[in-house]
């Protein structure tokens, strides 16, 4: 009976979707060709390079993460708001400069970091003014000029560092006594953190177990997260309270540690990754009221936890695999990498939620046709102000991270070229698609880093020694050619903008309707999990849920249970 | 078949308002030109007087001359952009790279050690023109043409032009003489050129004036002041070639088949096609002229500085400032705004110099950004100008089309 | 019997992958005024654009004859400018945007005559005067940009521009569109004057009754096909067509 209903629904969806001829596809061939070629160039120096492989690796990952964050921010403006901001670098600079000015005037690093984001966001709001008056290409030129004015001003004003700029001290220098090693730090000093971590892991293993158990009785993939929502009553509250308490405890302990006033646990890198995880968990659990519909949260929740588990395990394992001998540079690289990747994941999560929320939908409505969006009573000004403030806030955050990574803040580090690079990233990856923006940044930065590494190796040894070829320069030519090829032959990029109803979704639905129980549905579930990690959220429970084939969840689950028996 | 109809003219054509508007517009432009004339006379006279009075020990006459030269060079490198915007309807960010192409054409010919027949100022400028034009055509052929055929938006054409710029810049760096190392262009004067100069010097009274384009340096005394005005041949040639270029373009657009076809193509491509204009070849011609003038102007602009692959790119925004202030696709506008932008540049540099050298530490002005003697504000003035103009009068001085809001 | 000057056989064409015309047969003889009528979106403009080459012809054949020179041109796969410049005496006035707005009236006419600029016997000045004789209203607007013309003046300029190349056959796409009835009458009057000069005209019109009154033959287009073709008078008095297109009950 349930199956009949389900089949009926599926047919309805298919019938509806067939009216929408434009279906989403990912340009897999493009992705594989581009990604493969560029990855090769990344591996080459790793294989033939000298002894600095770990640094190369961490450096690359850090740059990828930072630029992915920046292109996410740009993508929000260009792709979702429809405002081609060509002065992005100016806002990145505002972030970096306000960070260093705050730090130099005695504000601590964390607060300065937050202030940096805020000031970049506030600066972003000024772009609203020209955007209301000007067409796209004129707006683009105004913004590029705004960016240049910011740069020229700091260059000429010695209170703002002038031509030489500032050096950026890493917080890690304060955290690590220079005579301990990274490994020692992990092994000797992880006191309260390990306990919290282990508790968390246990709790989530329990939940995953619960999931497995309950999911078997459901035919559709949303069941993975079902125990989190359907089991009301005391038990749920206790569990929730436990999780929230653990999270809070963790955040407090780590933050205190970070500032050295609580026993002084110095393993900052690990602390930091856990801190990020905890904040994220807290967000996940508690901000569902703000942005997302009820059922979305938990699926993402689980996904994020798993990603972060992998992330922490990864950082531990790598710490063992590559024992750190030369402490300061390698360690600060390591620290930067964790910080950048962590902030990127949080930002991705937030931006993805923003653009998928009703707010994001309205943003896209303004982008596509502002007249009709206004005519249904939305405020163009308000949305632009909010959108620009948000996206440039992220630009400010990543601007600080970029300054960490580069080690200094100078006016000449903020030329329009960087903005252009970001544009290339989002066009190659796919505009108005966050995964696309990240993937574009991944490809282009991989290429850049590999090129600069090969350039370095010319002076060191290996197969590149003595080769008189300007790899860095050549990589820029390659990028230019790639950009133009994409614009001509695949203007949508590797990951085109997601449409709601799409082919893949239909295919899976069909599969689902053929086999709604047993092993197949389990397979579909796994598939859908990986798809949603890859950013394709179309195949998600709320699509089925939205059709309301059952009203009452409790009743439904009991029905299902009966069916299974 | 019906009979012929006789109707009252007035009844038939009630839309006289349009024409009044047009006349008013034209009058406004005339007034603008007159006021510009008055302003320039005022600037000339006052700069002379200030120099004589020796205010803040500055040579204002020389500043005016520099501004004139700068303005001419700006106009030379910007007019091509106006032209391509008009016909292709997008902002070409690769435009500045055409300037670099001109520079490296000269550098390459210098490097080849050819005889003076190829390696002199005139033929170098000529080759730069040809090369700039060809590269511009190439970019249309390989990138902008195919994109336009696929109905690309102005924005994606613009992004594509960023890619084109990137490629040109770095291909130059990768493969051409000098690479990334700064080089100095050599622009030797042909011998007949020098002998014309020597001959003209013998003309009474205005001799040195006439000879100034032909001699390396000519020095004029300023009546009533101990200061002098030193004029280089490149400066005078810049001014002269700007004037010649403007007159030629004026003739081209108003009188010739090519020019009128260009304007027609920029108006309506389909209609031009059915009127028998080969819009494809007109587009190539547009690019050729646009790229050529730009490369030509670039050589003059950088004649005294070091040449690096980023040379043109560094001028990109100034070029855009000139074009936007002028109204994006208007030639008269570009002409006037070239002078305005050059004037603003000179003014900011002058004010900066005066404040930095004359204001003692501790006075209120010493806290302003201008107090820094090594500051370079030459771009900030024009940039602020762009923003103000685009926000308060988006169509620029002479813009034909109101860019309008997105609403 | 007059010679056939334009002949379209089984023309199939469309935009992108969308087929609009499904095999059209139309013929215009020397000195004839042929009208195409039909409902909105039936492919009238598309057909004219296919003749001139703005829309590619998928299959079929279009040929234009120049009876005086005894030549026959196959224009099926030519680009617009190739058709116009290769000596084929054809001019086309589009339905919308048929003048260059930023150019002056005189320059617009000049462009019309560009095709003949290599012909020594062609006198541009004289030709312009001829046009001004036909449309005296334009003369006072010579130096004014076409964007500032009124709707009627603009149609006249478009016609004048088309006549500058001394065509033998004229394709007019709704010359009376968006004009007040009085002005439309003036345009129809001018068309009749042109007929007296010996031109052949293929006219696309929405003011069907008015157009049929002055034309020799007519074709009725319905969704990309020729639904009917006959002498203009017959169509005018055909009760069925009258009911469908001409608003007669
Ligand atoms: N550029 C285009 N791209 C795609 N389809 C088009 C294009 N121009 C016209 N069409 C379609 O082709 C069909 C025929 O259009 P056409 O302009 O030939 O009609 P028409 O008979 O001239 O109508 P009208 O009397 O309104 O001028 C219409 O359905 C229209 O939607
Ligand atoms: Mg039509």
Question: In this model, does residue A204 exceed pLDDT 90?
Answer: no
Give φ, ψ of B22 to 5 degrees: -60, -45
| pLDDT, position A31 | 72
For residues A238 and A198, state if they share a domain: yes
Answer yes or no: is the C-beta of C223 below 6 A from any ligand 1 atom. Answer: no
Helix (H, G, I), strand (E, B) or coil at A499: coil
| pLDDT, position B93 | 92
For residues A83 and A160, state if they share a domain: yes
| pLDDT, position B185 | 87
B269 → chain C, closest CA residue: C100
Interface check B5 vs C, CB under 8 A = yes
B63 touches B354 (CB < 8 A): no
Answer yes or no: is the C-beta of C15 below 6 A from any ligand 1 atom. Answer: yes
C145 touches C104 (CB < 8 A): yes
Question: In this model, does residue B168 exceed pLDDT 60?
Answer: yes
For residues A172 and A186, state if they share a domain: no
| pLDDT, position B305 | 82
| pLDDT, position A345 | 77
Q: Is residue A7 one of the residues assigned to a domain?
A: no
Least confident span in A24-28, A167-171, B25-29, C218-222: A24-28
- Residue C141 pLDDT class (50, 70, 90 cuts): confident
Measured by CA distance, the residue closest to atom 4 of ligand 1 is C15
Least confident span in A303-307, A425-429, B257-261: A303-307
Mean pLDDT of the residues in chain B: 83
Question: In this model, does residue C104 exceed pLDDT 70?
Answer: yes
- Residue A336 pLDDT class (50, 70, 90 cuts): confident
Interface check B387 vs A, CB under 8 A = yes
Question: In this model, does residue B51 exceed pLDDT 50?
Answer: yes
Interface check B12 vs C, CB under 8 A = yes
Token look-up 């491509």 returns: B269
Q: pLDDT tens for residues A100-115?
A: 999 888 877 778 888 9
Q: Is residue B405 one of the residues assigned to a domain?
A: no
- For residue B253, give the CATH number of its domain: 1.10.3470
Q: Is residue A1 one of the residues assigned to a domain?
A: no
| pLDDT, position B24 | 65
Sheet strand arrangement including C4-15: C18-29, C4-15, C57-66, C71-74
Measured by CA distance, the residue closest to atom 22 of ligand 1 is C45
Least confident span in A124-128, B215-219, C65-69, C85-89: C65-69
Report the C-alpha gap between B152 and A174 in whole angstroms: 53
| pLDDT, position A170 | 65
| pLDDT, position A308 | 57
Q: Is residue A347 one of the residues assigned to a domain?
A: yes
Token look-up 């700039």 returns: B132
A482 → chain B, closest CA residue: B163
| pLDDT, position C199 | 86
Give φ, ψ of C68 to 5 degrees: -65, -45
Residue in B7, B260, B276 nearest the CB of C81: B276
- Residue B338 pLDDT class (50, 70, 90 cuts): very high
Q: Check A427 against B159: CB less than 8 A apart.
A: yes
- For residue A58, give the CATH number of its domain: 1.10.3470
> In this structure, what DSSP letter does residue B230 have?
E
- Residue B189 pLDDT class (50, 70, 90 cuts): confident
Residue in A138, A163, A480 nearest the CB of B167: A480
In the structure, do chain B and chain A come into contact, i.e. share 3 or more CB pairs under 8 Å?
A: yes
Q: Check C100 against B22: CB less than 8 A apart.
A: no
In the structure, do chain A and chain C come into contact, i.e. share 3 or more CB pairs under 8 Å?
A: no
Q: What is the CA radius of gyration of chain C?
A: 18
Last residue of a domain, one of A274, A297, A326: A326
* Exposure class string for C52-67: b at 16+ Cβ within 10 A, else e: bbbbebeebebbbbbb
- pTM score: 0.80
Last residue of a domain, one of A461, A489, A517: A489
**Cα-to-chain-centroid distance, residue C21:** 18
Within a 10 A sphere around the Cβ of A463, how many other Cβ atoms? 13
Measured by CA distance, the residue closest to atom 3 of ligand 1 is C15
Question: In this model, does residue C19 exceed pLDDT 70?
Answer: yes
Distance from CA of B161 to the nearest CA of C (A): 27
For residues A239 and A139, state if they share a domain: no
Question: In this model, does residue B5 exceed pLDDT 70?
Answer: no
Give φ, ψ of B402 to 5 degrees: -80, 120
Last residue of a domain, one of A266, A295, A326: A326
For residues A169 and A26, state if they share a domain: yes
Strand runs (DSSP E) across A354-478, as ranges?
408-409
Residue in C101, C111, C182 nearest the CB of B275: C111
Answer yes or no: is the C-beta of C121 below 6 A from any ligand 1 atom. Answer: no
Interface check A237 vs B, CB under 8 A = no
Q: Is residue A506 one of the residues assigned to a domain?
A: yes
Q: Is residue B348 one of the residues assigned to a domain?
A: yes
Distance from CA of B78 to the nearest CA of C (A): 22
Give the residue among C13, C15, C44, C61 at the shortest CA–CA distance from C227. C44
Token look-up 């293929």 returns: C202
Q: Is residue A117 one of the residues assigned to a domain?
A: yes
- Residue A508 pLDDT class (50, 70, 90 cuts): low
Q: Check A149 against B380: CB less than 8 A apart.
A: yes
Q: pLDDT tens for residues C39-67?
A: 888 899 999 999 998 888 888 889 888 76
| pLDDT, position A550 | 32
Give the residue among C14, B380, B401, C96 at the shortest CA–CA distance from A135. B401
Question: In this model, does residue A190 exceed pLDDT 60?
Answer: no
The predicted model gives A142-167 an average pLDDT of 85
Give the residue among B261, B272, B375, B393 at the shortest CA–CA distance from B327. B393
A46 touches A523 (CB < 8 A): no
Report the C-alpha gap between B12 and C149 in whole angstroms: 13
C60 touches C12 (CB < 8 A): yes
Which subunits count as partners of chain A given 3+ CB pairs below 8 Å? B
Q: pLDDT tens for residues A82-105?
A: 889 999 999 999 999 999 999 888
B403 touches A135 (CB < 8 A): yes
A352 touches A307 (CB < 8 A): no
Q: Check C85 against B11: CB less than 8 A apart.
A: no
Interface list for chain C against chain B, based on CB atoms closer than 8 Å: 52, 54, 79-81, 84-85, 92, 94, 97-103, 107, 110-112, 114-115, 117, 137, 144-145, 148-153, 161, 165, 182-183, 185-186, 188-189, 192, 213-214
- Residue A192 pLDDT class (50, 70, 90 cuts): very low
Are β-strands C200-204 and C217-222 bridged in parallel, bridged antiparallel, or unpaired?
unpaired
Give the residue among A14, A6, A9, A4 at the shortest CA–CA distance from A503. A14
Residue in C54, C185, C214 nearest the CB of B270: C54
Q: pLDDT tens for residues C211-238?
A: 888 889 999 988 888 888 888 888 888 7
Q: pLDDT tens for residues B269-284?
A: 889 998 889 999 999 9
* Token pair belonging to A416: 């329009």
Of residues C226 and A507, more confidently modeled: C226
Report the C-alpha gap between B276 and B268 in whole angstroms: 13
Domain total of chain B: 1
Q: How far is the CA of A551 from the centre of ligand 1 (A)?
A: 48
Q: Is residue A494 one of the residues assigned to a domain?
A: no
For residues A123 and A189, state if they share a domain: no
Question: In this model, does residue C112 exceed pLDDT 60?
Answer: yes
Report the C-alpha gap between B121 and B17 in whole angstroms: 54
Domain containing A431 equals 12-176+333-489
For residues A157 and A22, state if they share a domain: yes
Mean pLDDT of the residues in chain A: 68
- Residue A322 pLDDT class (50, 70, 90 cuts): very low
- Residue A282 pLDDT class (50, 70, 90 cuts): low
Least confident span in A1-15, B131-145, C68-82: A1-15
For residues A377 and A479, state if they share a domain: yes
For residues A105 and A149, state if they share a domain: yes
Give contacts of C149 with chain B, Cβ < 8 Å. 18
The predicted model gives A291-319 an average pLDDT of 51
Mean pLDDT of the residues in chain C: 85
* Token pair belonging to C26: 């139309």
Q: Is residue A385 one of the residues assigned to a domain?
A: yes
Question: In this model, does residue A70 exceed pLDDT 70?
Answer: yes
Our CA angle for A523, A524, A526, nearest 5°, is 65
Give φ, ψ of B197 to 5 degrees: -60, -45
Task: Please give the number of the atom of ligand 1 that sits closest to the Cα of C46.
Answer: 18
Report the percentage of chain B scoring pLDDT > 70. 87
> In this structure, what DSSP letter does residue A259 have?
T
Residue in C98, C145, C192 nearest the CB of B271: C98
The predicted model gives C3-11 an average pLDDT of 88
Burial of B376 (0-12, 13-18, 19+ CB in 10 A): middle
3-state SS string for A220-273: CHHHHHHHHHHCCHHHHHHHHHHHHHHHHHHHHHHHHHHCCCCCCCCCHHHHHH
Show which of residues 250-269 on chain B sit within 8 Å of chain C, judged by CB atoms: 257, 260-261, 263-264, 266-268
For residues A149 and A110, state if they share a domain: yes
Q: pLDDT tens for residues A216-250?
A: 433 333 333 333 333 333 344 445 555 555 566 56
C227 touches C24 (CB < 8 A): no
Question: In this model, does residue A352 exceed pLDDT 50?
Answer: yes
* Token pair belonging to A347: 């930002």
Answer yes or no: is the C-beta of C46 below 6 A from any ligand 1 atom. Answer: yes
Q: At what angle do helices A434-457 and A416-429 cross, to 10 degrees?
A: 120
B404 → chain A, closest CA residue: A134
Answer yes or no: is the C-beta of C97 below 6 A from any ligand 1 atom. Answer: no
Question: In this model, does residue C156 exceed pLDDT 70?
Answer: yes
The predicted model gives A550-558 an average pLDDT of 38
Q: Is residue B21 one of the residues assigned to a domain?
A: no
A540 touches A559 (CB < 8 A): no
Are β-strands C4-15 and C57-66 bridged in parallel, bridged antiparallel, or unpaired?
antiparallel
Q: Is residue A226 one of the residues assigned to a domain?
A: yes
Answer yes or no: is the C-beta of C207 below 6 A from any ligand 1 atom. Answer: no
Tally the C-alpha atoms within 13 A of residue A535's C-alpha that lie toward its C-beta: 25
| pLDDT, position B16 | 44
| pLDDT, position A250 | 60
Interface check B143 vs A, CB under 8 A = yes
Q: How far is the CA of C80 from the centre of ligand 1 (A)?
A: 19
* Token pair belonging to A194: 């390990």
Measured by CA distance, the residue closest to atom 18 of ligand 1 is C43
The predicted model gives A284-310 an average pLDDT of 49
| pLDDT, position A467 | 66
Q: Check B263 against C107: CB less than 8 A apart.
A: yes
Domain containing B89 equals 31-392
B330 touches B399 (CB < 8 A): yes
For residues A109 and A198, state if they share a domain: no
| pLDDT, position B19 | 57
Which of the listed residues C22, C45, C95, C207 should we mutate to test ligand 1's pocket, taking the one with most ligand atoms within 8 A of CB? C45
For residues A442 and A522, state if they share a domain: no
In DSSP terms, which residues pair with C72 in a beta bridge?
A: C65
Question: In this model, does residue B339 exceed pLDDT 70?
Answer: yes
Give φ, ψ of B190 to 5 degrees: -65, 155
C8 touches C26 (CB < 8 A): yes
Q: pLDDT tens for residues B74-130?
A: 999 999 999 998 888 888 999 999 999 999 999 988 888 777 777 888 899 999 999
Give the residue among B382, B355, B323 at the shortest CA–CA distance from B86. B323
3-state SS string for chain C: CCCEEEEEEEEEEEECCEEEEEEEEEEEECCCEEEEECCCCCCHHHHHHHHHCCCCEEEEEEEEEECCCCEEEECCCCCHHHHHHCCCCEEEECCCCCCCCCCEHHHHHHHHHHHHCCCCCCCHHHHHHHHHHHCHHHHCCCCCEHHHCCHHHHHHHHHHHHHCCCCCEEEEECCCCCCCHHHHHHHHHHHHHHHHCCCEEEEECCCHHHHHHHCCEEEEEECCEEEEEEEHHHHHHCHHHHHHHCCCC
Domain total of chain A: 3
Pairs of residues, one from chain B and one from chain C, whose beta carbons lie less than 8 Å apart: 106
The CA-atom distances, in angstroms, between A317 and each of A320, A378, C59 are 5, 50, 68
Interface check B206 vs C, CB under 8 A = no
Report the C-alpha gap between A307 and B201 in whole angstroms: 82
- Span between the terminal Cα atoms of chain A, in Å: 14
């Amino acid at each position: 009976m349930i199956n009949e209903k389900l089949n009926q629904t599926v047919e309805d969806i298919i019938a509806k979707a067939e009216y929408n001829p434009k279906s989403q596809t990912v340009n897999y061939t493009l992705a594989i060709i581009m990604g493969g070629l560029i990855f090769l160039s990344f591996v080459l120096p790793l294989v033939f390079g000298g002894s600095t492989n770990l640094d190369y690796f961490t450096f690359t990952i850090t740059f990828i993460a930072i630029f992915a964050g920046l292109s996410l921010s740009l993508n929000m403006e260009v792709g979702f708001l429809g405002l081609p901001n060509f002065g992005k670098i100016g806002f990145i600079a505002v972030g970096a400069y306000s960070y260093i000015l705050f730090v130099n005037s005695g504000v601590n690093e964390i607060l300065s970091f937050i202030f940096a984001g805020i000031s970049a966001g506030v600066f972003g709001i000024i772009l609203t003014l020209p955007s209301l008056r000007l067409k796209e290409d004129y707006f683009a030129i105004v913004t590029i000029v705004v960016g240049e004015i910011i740069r020229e001003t700091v260059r000429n004003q010695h209170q703002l560092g002038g031509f030489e700029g500032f050096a950026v001290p890493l917080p890690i220098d304060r955290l690590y006594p220079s005579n301990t090693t990274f490994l020692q730090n992990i092994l000797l000093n992880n006191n309260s953190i390990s306990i919290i971590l282990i508790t968390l892991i246990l709790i989530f293993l329990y939940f995953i177990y619960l999931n497995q158990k309950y999911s078997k009785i459901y035919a559709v993939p949303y069941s993975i997260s079902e125990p989190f929502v359907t089991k009301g009553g005391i038990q749920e509250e206790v569990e929730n309270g436990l999780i929230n308490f653990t999270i809070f405890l963790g955040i407090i302990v780590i933050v205190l540690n970070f500032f050295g006033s609580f026993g002084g646990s110095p393993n900052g890198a690990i602390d930091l990754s856990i801190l990020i995880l905890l904040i994220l968990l807290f967000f996940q659990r508690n901000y569902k009221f703000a942005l997302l519909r009820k059922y979305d949260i938990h699926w993402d929740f689980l996904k994020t936890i798993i990603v972060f588990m992998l992330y922490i395990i990864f950082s531990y394992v790598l710490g063992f695999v590559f024992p750190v001998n030369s402490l300061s540079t390698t360690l600060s690289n390591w620290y930067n990498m964790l910080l950048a990747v962590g902030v990127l994941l949080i930002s991705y999560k937030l931006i993805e939620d923003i653009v998928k929320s009703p707010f994001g939908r309205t943003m896209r409505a303004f982008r596509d046709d502002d007249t009709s969006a206004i005519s249904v009573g939305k405020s163009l000004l308000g949305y632009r102000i909010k959108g620009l403030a948000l996206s440039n806030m992220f630009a400010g955050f990543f601007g600080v991270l970029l300054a960490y990574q580069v080690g200094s803040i100078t006016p000449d580090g903020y030329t329009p070229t960087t903005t252009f690079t970001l544009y290339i990233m989002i066009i190659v990856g796919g505009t108005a698609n966050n995964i696309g923006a990240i993937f574009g940044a991944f490809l282009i930065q991989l290429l850049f880093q590999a090129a600069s590494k090969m350039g370095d190796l010319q002076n060191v040894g290996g197969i590149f020694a003595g080769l008189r070829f300007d790899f860095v320069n050549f990589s820029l030519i390659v990028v230019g050619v790639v950009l133009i090829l994409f614009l001509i032959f695949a203007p949508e990029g590797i990951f085109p903008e997601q449409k709601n109803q799409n082919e893949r979704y239909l295919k899976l639905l069909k599969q689902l309707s053929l086999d709604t129980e047993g092993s197949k549905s389990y397979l579909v579930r796994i598939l859908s999990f990986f798809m949603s990690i890859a950013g394709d959220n179309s195949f998600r429970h709320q699509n089925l849920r939205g059709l309301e084939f059952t009203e009452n969840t409790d009743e439904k689950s009991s029905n299902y249970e009966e069916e299974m028996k | 078949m019906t009979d012929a109809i006789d109707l009252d003219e007035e009844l038939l054509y009630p839309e006289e308002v349009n024409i009044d508007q047009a006349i008013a517009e034209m009058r406004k432009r005339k007034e603008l030109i007159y006021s510009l004339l008055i302003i320039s006379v005022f600037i000339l006279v006052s700069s002379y007087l200030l120099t004589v009075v020796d205010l803040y020990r500055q040579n204002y006459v020389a500043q005016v001359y520099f501004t004139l030269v700068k303005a001419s060079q700006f106009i030379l490198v910007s007019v091509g952009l106006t032209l391509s915007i008009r016909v292709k309807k997008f902002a070409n960010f690769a435009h500045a790279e055409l300037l670099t192409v001109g520079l490296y054409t000269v550098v390459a010919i210098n490097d080849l050690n050819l005889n003076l027949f190829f390696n002199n100022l005139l033929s170098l400028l000529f080759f730069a023109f040809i090369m700039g034009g060809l590269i511009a055509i190439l970019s249309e052929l390989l990138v902008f043409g195919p994109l336009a055929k696929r109905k690309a938006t102005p924005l994606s054409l613009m992004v594509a032009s960023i890619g084109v710029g990137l490629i040109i810049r770095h291909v130059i760096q990768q493969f051409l003489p000098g690479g990334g190392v700064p080089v100095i262009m050599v622009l030797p004067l042909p011998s007949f050129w020098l002998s014309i100069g020597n001959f003209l010097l013998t003309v009474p009274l205005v001799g040195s004036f006439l000879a100034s384009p032909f001699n390396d340096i000519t020095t004029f005394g300023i009546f009533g002041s101990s200061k002098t005005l030193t004029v280089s041949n490149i400066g005078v040639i810049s001014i002269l070639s700007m004037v010649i270029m403007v007159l030629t373009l004026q003739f081209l657009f108003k009188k010739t088949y090519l020019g009128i076809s260009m304007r027609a193509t920029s108006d309506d491509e389909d209609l031009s096609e059915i009127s028998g204009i080969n819009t494809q070849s007109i587009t190539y011609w547009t690019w050729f002229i646009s790229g050529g003038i730009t490369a030509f102007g670039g050589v003059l602009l950088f004649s005294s500085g070091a040449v690096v692959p980023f040379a043109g790119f560094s001028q990109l925004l100034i070029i855009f400032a000139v074009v936007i202030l002028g109204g994006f696709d208007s030639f008269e506008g570009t002409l006037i705004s070239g002078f305005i932008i050059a004037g603003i540049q000179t003014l900011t540099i002058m004010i900066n110099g005066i404040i930095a050298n004359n204001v003692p530490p501790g006075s209120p002005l010493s806290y302003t950004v201008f107090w820094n003697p090594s500051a370079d504000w030459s771009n900030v003035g024009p940039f602020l100008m762009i923003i103000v103009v685009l926000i308060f009068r988006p169509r620029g001085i002479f813009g034909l089309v109101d860019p309008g809001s997105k609403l | 019997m007059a010679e056939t000057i334009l002949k379209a056989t089984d023309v199939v064409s469309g935009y992108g992958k969308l087929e609009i015309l499904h095999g059209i047969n139309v013929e215009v003889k020397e000195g004839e005024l042929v009208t195409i009528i039909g409902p909105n979106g039936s492919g009238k403009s598309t057909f004219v654009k296919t003749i001139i080459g703005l829309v590619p012809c998928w299959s079929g054949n279009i040929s234009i004859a120049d009876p005086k020179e005894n030549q026959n041109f196959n224009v099926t796969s030519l680009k617009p400018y190739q058709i116009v410049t290769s000596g084929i005496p054809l001019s086309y006035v589009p339905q919308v945007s048929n003048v260059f707005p930023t150019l002056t009236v005189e320059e617009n006419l000049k462009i019309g005559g560009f095709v003949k600029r290599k012909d020594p016997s062609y006198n541009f000045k004289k030709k312009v005067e001829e046009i001004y004789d036909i449309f005296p209203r334009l003369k006072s607007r010579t130096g004014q940009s076409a964007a500032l013309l009124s709707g009627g003046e603009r149609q006249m300029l478009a016609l004048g521009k088309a006549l500058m190349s001394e065509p033998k056959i004229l394709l007019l796409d709704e010359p009376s569109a968006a004009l007040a009835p009085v002005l439309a009458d003036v345009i129809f009057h001018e068309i009749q004057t042109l007929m007296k000069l010996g031109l052949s005209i293929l006219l696309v019109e929405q003011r069907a009754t008015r157009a049929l009154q002055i034309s020799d033959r007519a074709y009725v287009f319905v969704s990309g096909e020729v639904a009917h073709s006959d002498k203009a008078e017959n169509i005018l008095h055909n009760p069925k067509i009258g009911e469908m297109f001409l608003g007669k009950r």
